[in-house]
Amino acid sequence: MKILVIGSGGREHALVWKIHQSPRVDKIFCAPGSAAIGELAECVAINPEQLDRLADFAEKEHIDLTVVGPELPLTLGIADLFESRHLRIFGPNQAAAQLEGSKAFTKEILRANGIPTAAFATCADAATAKRYLVRQKSPYVIKADGLAAGKGVLICATLAEAEAAIEEILVQKAFGAAGDKVVIEEYLDGEEASFMVLTDGEHVLPLASSQDHKRVFDNDQGPNTGGMGAYSPAPVVTPEVHERVLREVLTPLLDGLQRKNIRYRGLLYVGLMITKSGPKVIEFNARFGDPECQPIMMRLKSDLLPLLEATIDGKLDQVTAQWHQDPAICVVLTANGYPGAHDKGKEISGLDKLADWQQGFVFHAGTAKDNNRWLTTGGRVLGVTARGKSMAEAVTEVYRAVGEISWAGMHYRKDIARRALPHS
């Protein structure tokens, strides 16, 4: 098979790494890819939003399956375009991808189908938003409606902070068109978890549970980021929680989408808050989480390709996924200043010491290669990922590997998987 993976980050590196292990694969392309991905696939200089060029390339190269990594091409309708040209693609169509593309759309779907979530209001102007805020209790959760690379959610301790967030999003347009509307939500207290499933619109195949760490500093302090690390499995997703998510979230969601003539085929990421009263939906994503994808791919024993094909063909009830029992953990190494303005072009040392690392792998999220030197190019730079016989062993191993890597201003959280360790 000839495979095309779209994207260039750590998630796509992990997907290419896993797909490369399939005996059915003859050739992998990645658009645009990266220097690190180029060690496993042929990189193609086409950006994810260049839909027509991607479809032309898939036709010309007789690609058997295209796998979409990031959310932007999905919300732009890449699956619709590929399907119209009889090209096989893994990822939901544009109508289904609204679950990620618009938080307001998602909240209305949740409300209409009785799916547990935070109380909310959607506002398109600052005056209306501020009037609603005054009637709410602190802390306040303010979300830009559209795609904001994981940074459009602001948790505000005081009314003054919340009003400033409204101004920032709706008036100052800090997130551009993504902030044409805001969703103001009730603050939910509990523990977050990521529940990812493959779905063909009718059947659901759950993947291993995971938990992401979004705040930039230890002990969940500082602003939200695209993700500072993740681990799998997440002990907070007990068998009871697992069953409740399937019964109370996924079944009514897929039924509700079908009533709107929307068939969801692809990866569906359910962001959950596990509260005292049970799981509640925080968000949906229309693609693999990043960095959750990294530990999940490391734990997946099965060949990924048959699972993706069964999703496309509506045959998910005919396949199963096998998992390594060993937990896995990913620690994200970031540039100085992330998630704001950050350094670039810093030389990375120590990667050669992990070239033959048996217990894990270093996935590249924002790097480039200059001759034999690896340089930082993004905010999230590397995702150091390891397995261990227990979560405690995985934590020890991953931080040992992190200790081999350095560059000027390198930052990372030192408490990834801390909530899981008491269960280890």
- Checking if the pLDDT of 149 tops 80, the result is no
Averaged pLDDT score across all residues of the chain: 94
pLDDT score at 177: 86
- Checking if the pLDDT of 421 tops 90, the result is no
Per-residue pLDDT of 16-27, as tens digits, reads 999 999 999 999
**End-to-end Cα distance, the chain:** 40
CB 175, CB 152: distance < 8 Å: yes
Q: pLDDT > 90: what percent of the chain?
A: 81
Give the residue among 360, 348, 417, 424 at the shortest CA–CA distance from 35: 348
Residues 34-41: what's their mean pLDDT? 98
Residues 384-398: what's their mean pLDDT? 97
Residue 266 CA to residue 263 CA, distance in Å, equals: 10
pLDDT band at 333 (very low <50, low <70, confident <90, very high): very high
β-bridge mates for residue 72, sequence order? none
Residue 185 CA to residue 273 CA, distance in Å, equals: 13
CB 248, CB 115: distance < 8 Å: yes
Per-residue pLDDT of 217-243, as tens digits, reads 999 999 888 899 999 999 999 999 999
pLDDT score at 11: 98
Chain position carrying tokens 């790494």: 17
pLDDT band at 424 (very low <50, low <70, confident <90, very high): low
Residue 281 CA to residue 190 CA, distance in Å, equals: 12
Alpha carbon 23 to its chain's center? 27
